[in-house]
Amino acid sequence: MFESLTAPPPDKIIQLIQKFREDPREQKIDLGVGVYKNASGITPVMEAVKEAELRLWNSQTTKTYTSLVGEIGFHEVMIKLILGGSIPRDNIAAAHTAGGTGAVRMAFEIIKLASPESSVWISNPSWPNHRAILKFINMNIREYSYFDRDSRSVDFSGMMSDLKDARPGDAIVLHGCCHNPTGSDLSYSQWEELAEFLLERKVIPIIDFAYQGFGDGLDEDAKNLRMIASKFPETLIAGSCSKNFGIYRERTGIMLAVVQENKTKSVIQSVLSSLNRLSLSFPPDHGARLVTMILNDDELSVLWREELEATRKNLQDLRVRLAGELRDLTGSDRFGFLASHKGMFSLTGCSPEQVVTMREKHGIYLVGDSRINVAGLNEDSIPQMARAMVNSGM
């Protein structure tokens, strides 16, 4: 029977990682993989996480099941981190999910359960898993323009124009900050204009919030989302601790469903429980426990914030340096966008042929859509990167 199955297409980023591993050149640079790396090319375990693991090892007495939506203590710290007191607690339903991906999937399933005919709008381009999951669960997918390839910034008028086709009950995926793959975010006033427009059209926002703390800071990055959650009758938020706590493999994420009507909250809370029950029974616990311990402890919390801030500053610094190096080489500011993009990624906008030249001639690995992860650079490799970009005709 299994011969009737067709193998899904191979994941392009995994293929790229494999190619990179097999490349014998010493000066090769990996800008493909979507994880943070320090100047030595390592994705470190944060000190605060290490310390929390030690404390947990010493204090944990059981590993019996938790609740279907995970530990309430984890919900509380995450609600505070993400929503920062902007919403009354009684209006928030929460479930611990298997990473941000689990939360994104849950958000889509909620829309499907509530209104299977609705369309889910995603940005063009977006994190490829948005489309893949929506397709897998058979949802209607619509795309809105997002990126202006000339200016390498948000095509806000194109976005607003496409969204005129949105119908009441449709949902829209918005990246809370540090848009993946473009690195280009809406300004606050654009978020406000978009919010008014979507409210009028009764479109439900799904905020994918995978990079809190990587853009302008923890609270700054949450500002747009908090405004949305306080205005809309219903908002879904998919949070992730993978990047900002560096606990990628622990699969720690959270689904927050914010409602303005208290009576809907208990229904949605039960739906969250049931969705976890149907997919994993109980969410993975270890990462959530570390996050809870860190955020509830003053000393660990300060340490974690310092480490996250250092990460954020390093990303910003790499951006400014690369843009500066390119300015010196080209005598123009056409790569200035690299310094104003946020988070780990930038869509450079170069052609597929240039992506191949970068890889084959210069040993620099970009994702096929021309995305770079600036965390793959360091002080020493920036001049090499800038020269290769210019030599490849970017």
Q: Which residues bind ligand PLP (CB under 6 A)?
A: 34, 99-101, 104, 127, 175, 180, 208, 210, 240, 242, 248, 253
CB of 211 to ligand PLP, least distance (A): 7
Quote the radius of gyration of the chain (alpha carbons, Å). 21
Closest CB to ligand PLP among residues 34, 183: 34
The answer to whether the beta carbons of residues 143 and 135 sit under 8 Å apart is no
- H or E, element range at 100: helix 99-114
Neighbours of 150 (CB within 10 A): 8
68 vs 237 by CB, closer to ligand PLP? 237
List active site positions.
Answer: 127, 208, 210, 243
Q: Which is nearer to ligand PLP, 34 or 349 (CB)?
A: 34
Cβ–Cβ under 8 Å, residues 369 and 125: yes
Closest to ligand PLP by CB, 242 vs 357, is 242
Provide CB contacts within 8 A for 185, sequence distance 6+: 154, 175, 177, 178, 179, 215, 342
> Distance between CA atoms of 216 and 107, rounded to whole angstroms?
26
337 touches 346 (CB < 8 A): yes
- Residue 329: CB minimum distance to ligand PLP, A: 30
* Tokens 């104003």 found at: 340
| Distance, CA of 155 to chain centre | 20
